[in-house]
Amino acid sequence: MDHIKRTDGELFIDGVSVTEIAEEYGTPSYVYSESLIKQNLEEYTSSVRKEDKICYAVKSNSNLSILKLLADNGSGFDVVSGYELQRCLIAGADPKKIIFSGVGKTEKEISLALQNKIFSINIESESELERIIRISEVLEIKADCFIRLNPEISSESHPYIQTALKSSKFGVDTDTAIRIAKLIKESKQVNLIGIASHIGSQISKESLVLENLDSLLNVLKILEKNDQKINFVDIGGGFGITYKDEKNLSPSKLLPKIIDKVGPNINIILEPGRSISGKAGILITKTEYIKESKDQNFIVVDAGMNDLMRPSLYEAWHKIEPVIESKSTTEDSYKLVGPICESADQFGEGLHIAVDQGDLIAIFDTGAYGFSMASNYNTRTKPAEVLASQGNKRLIRSRETFEDIISQEIEMLQ
């Protein structure tokens, strides 16, 4: 990958020395390539039509500078909370490019969405529709909405990131969708402008995306027979990337097939997250100890599962390499672990990397669901975030301090 590569054995990201970043901002730190984020977004935006929408999944990386970068380059946004919506607005997003998904929208969140006249609120239950109608009547603002369908399709990925199984909390079945559409038509308070579905994350098969689209188009035909004209279908996101040996989906190859399938009168919406920012990020961590024993050798680093949850939560695999390649090699096998008081606090095992105490290590492909899932477990401060761009770097989130963590508690001691 040209944006994250080695020069004379040292790792660089977007032309910036990773060693230099660690020296200036400390470890652990997330670092992102601006150029790669823009390139990945461009593959989507250049493959769709003017009225189609690319709405970045904010949950994957919600840093304000990342959101501003995406907004400045034409991206819309998929949000799942009122505060994610507010983040997008602060970052300069066009409200008419924002969709609001999620099964548990509060009255306050629905009001915020209506008052800011966002593009769509995605309805996930009959009771949610009732709430939207009630609030829109009070505010005297008509609500533009999609119905989220559950097509009962497996994304064939980890169970925790599948969202369209029969047991899933997301979306509604076809019969319920048709019933909701009828209630919308009778309400006069809601505009039904589209139907949506999202089958999960890290999808590697083109056929699953097209099967999901077929489900949406079938429901669309039923609604049109009931004299309800639909202008948009939202096929979700979830296009996979290659962490190890997975097959990634190419937007530039798949989107023309999707557009051809929907025809000229229906526009599409996509909600990519991981496929835009995932490979654009690395987590830099420092070796604290080398711990060797008869049964297992460990490299103990200063990053923990509170900084990067994916390996502990999903047993996810990430490429792990020293920031500066060692001239020596080792036949010994190591497990890379952090300081958290949990056995699950590990990033990889079976590693044959030669590092010494104090050496820097990079964990790759952490630009999505890295910092956004970070926590303060064990009273650990959250890491810094840095954006690299064509040889330059800037801090986009300062490292959290202990004082930051206790600020909302300390005054309660009085």
Q: What is the CA radius of gyration of the chain?
A: 23
Distance of alpha carbon 174 from the chain centroid: 27
**What phi and psi values does residue 48 have, to the nearest 5 degrees?**
-125, 175
Is 341 part of the annotated catalytic residue set? yes
Of the residues 55, 88, 145, 341, only one is catalytic, namely 341
DSSP states along 202-270: SB--HHHHHHHHHHHHHHHHHHHHTT----EEE----B---SSSPPPP-HHHHHHHHHHHH-TT-EEEE
Q: Which residue, among 109, 200, 207, has the nearest Cα to 158 in the 3D structure?
A: 200
CA-CA distance, 330 to 348, in Å (whole number)? 16
∠ CA 89-91-94 to the nearest 5 degrees?
50
Contacts with 281 (C-beta within 8 Å, 6 or more apart), sequence order: 30, 31, 32, 33, 61, 365, 366, 367, 368, 370
The residues annotated as belonging to the active site are: 341
